[in-house]
């Protein structure tokens, strides 16, 4: 069958977790004999795109995966907020017809959410993988202005009080209503974690399937370091340095722990929030045991993990299932995580790592001291790791789901029956 994957941004300009999830799944499905194509939004540049009405469209290939990039000629100010754009929907309907796809698989609806009503109007089955909270929260992280995790919009009323000005109340309500009009016509929602599944089901999303993210183990190198109680311990942070990811919490905790046999390496591109990044760097006060390593390539991840003894994810938002965490565990590197979201589904306290109360600097400092005062404990934590799913397992589960919802003869290239979206 032919599957079109829709995602808000993609390689080569964007290469973080969701994009990697799409790439891994596309490559594996290709190996299994399926045709795949990625639809994405060209947010950074119009280079290589050609005019098509009010839009720009282009095609390219990345690692053997065909990609269609779309973009408004003039970027709307509310591009990352809106769910459905009538003009974009019409464009995507024509792309669906041109490509003669069998299944639409949405891995992030921001900017390309119009693909959902476009597919429904063409009687195509739609799978939506939930990778964050964007369908519930236009800011996608589900954290209020006060820094409190939010479990749902309550019809948009909570959003207009906690995150937006009151004048946004009607726009927020309208956005949710547009999503509500189509969500029950989506063939399947899928979550990689039980936590995210519960959140969406608690917000009136009908039964959500659970399919864990899978890793390509061809890229995995198992760490085989031996530790004793005189060993040095290198802690690592591998994420975008933005406030909700909690890098400042980790640095403060590391400095407070003040263990002479420890070092901290922070990897990640600081351009997303340059002011925050510079502030975080200044809090390290030039400590020679704190190193800012900057942006890294995915290909370098195995060697980076080989240089670390513990990966720390100090997030202040409900993380779902970060690929960095899964990759660290697959490489045999224990993890320390905040007790939010799906993180503790992968890390069991005292078994394959530690968890701590999110944002609690003293609690994280205590964990750092515990590890640094007895590095040999890392041997036991490594032995407690259960290896994450393989990409082959994830792809087989999706293939079964596709087969369950696919109705040959109803694709736009064959039947093309149009359905009206209210």
Contacts of 62 (CB under 8 A, 6+ apart): 10, 11, 12, 23, 38
Q: Give the whole-angstrom CA distance, residue 308 versus residue 333.
A: 8
Q: Give the whole-angstrom CA distance, residue 419 versus residue 60.
A: 31
**Fold match between domain 2-214+392-405 and domain 217-383:** yes
Residue among 30, 102, 114 at smallest CA distance from 66 = 30
Q: Is the peptide bond before 208 cis (omega within 30 degrees of 0)?
A: no
pTM of this prediction? Answer: 0.93
Instruction: Write the class of the CATH domain 2-214+392-405.
Output: alpha beta
Q: Looking only at Cα atoms, what is the longest distance across the chain?
A: 70
Phi/psi of residue 191, each to 5°?
A: -125, 140
Domain ranges of the chain: 2-214+392-405, 217-383
Residue with tokens 């600081």: 270
Percent of the chain with pLDDT over 70: 97
Q: Give the whole-angstrom CA distance, residue 244 versus residue 250.
A: 12
pLDDT(281) > 70: yes
CATH match for 217-383 among 3.30.530.20, 3.40.718.10, 3.40.50.2000, 3.40.605.10: 3.40.50.2000
pLDDT, tens digit (0-9, with 9 covering 90-100), for 155-209: 888 898 899 988 898 999 999 999 999 999 999 999 999 999 999 999 999 889 9
List of E strands, 162-268: 188-191, 209-210, 233-238, 262-267
Provide the pLDDT for residue 410: 54
313: helix, coil or strand?
Answer: strand
pLDDT, tens digit (0-9, with 9 covering 90-100), for 61-87: 999 999 999 999 999 999 999 999 999
């Amino acid at each position: 069958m032919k599957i079109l994957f829709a995602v808000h941004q993609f390689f080569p300009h964007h290469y973080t977790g969701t994009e990697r999830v799409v790439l891994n799944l596309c490559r594996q499905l290709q190996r299994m004999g399926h045709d795949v194509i990625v639809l994405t939004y060209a947010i950074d540049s119009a280079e290589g795109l050609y005019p098509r009405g009010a839009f720009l469209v282009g095609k390219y290939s990345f690692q053997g995966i065909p990609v269609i990039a779309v973009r408004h000629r003039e970027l709307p100010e509310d591009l990352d907020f809106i769910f459905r754009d009538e003009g974009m929907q019409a464009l995507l309907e024509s792309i669906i017809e041109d490509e003669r796809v069998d299944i639409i698989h949405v891995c992030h609806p921001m900017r390309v959410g119009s693909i959902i009503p476009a597919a429904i109007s063409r009687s195509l089955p739609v799978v939506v993988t939930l990778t964050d909270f964007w369908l519930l929260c236009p800011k996608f992280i589900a954290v209020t202005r006060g820094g409190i995790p939010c479990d749902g919009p309550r019809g948009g009323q909570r959003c207009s009080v906690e995150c937006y000005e009151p004048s946004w109340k009607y726009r927020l309500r309208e956005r949710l209503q547009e999503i509500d009009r189509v969500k029950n016509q989506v063939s399947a929602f899928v979550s990689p974690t039980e936590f995210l599944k519960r959140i969406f089901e608690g917000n009136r999303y009908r039964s959500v399937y659970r399919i864990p993210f899978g890793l390509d183990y061809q890229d995995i190198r198992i760490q085989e370091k031996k530790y004793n109680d005189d060993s040095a311990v290198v802690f690592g942070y591998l994420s975008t340095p933005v406030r909700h990811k909690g890098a400042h919490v980790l640095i403060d905790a590391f400095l407070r722990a003040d263990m002479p046999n420890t070092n901290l390496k922070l990897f990640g591109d600081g351009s997303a929030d340059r002011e925050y990044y510079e502030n975080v760097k200044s809090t390290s006060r030039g400590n020679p045991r704190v190193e800012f390593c900057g942006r890294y390539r995915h290909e370098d991840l195995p060697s980076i993990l080989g240089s670390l003894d513990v990966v720390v994810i100090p997030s202040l938002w409900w993380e779902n299932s970060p690929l960095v965490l899964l990759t660290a565990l697959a490489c045999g590197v224990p993890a320390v995580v905040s007790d939010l979201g799906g993180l503790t589904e992968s890390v069991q306290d005292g078994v394959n790592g530690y968890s701590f109360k999110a944002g609690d600097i003293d609690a994280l400092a205590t964990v750092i001291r515990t590890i640094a005062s007895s590095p040999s404990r890392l041997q036991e934590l490594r032995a407690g790791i259960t290896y994450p799913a393989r990409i082959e397992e994830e792809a087989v589960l999706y293939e079964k789901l596709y087969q369950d919802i696919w109705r040959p003869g109803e694709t736009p290239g064959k039947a093309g029956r149009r359905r009206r979206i209210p």
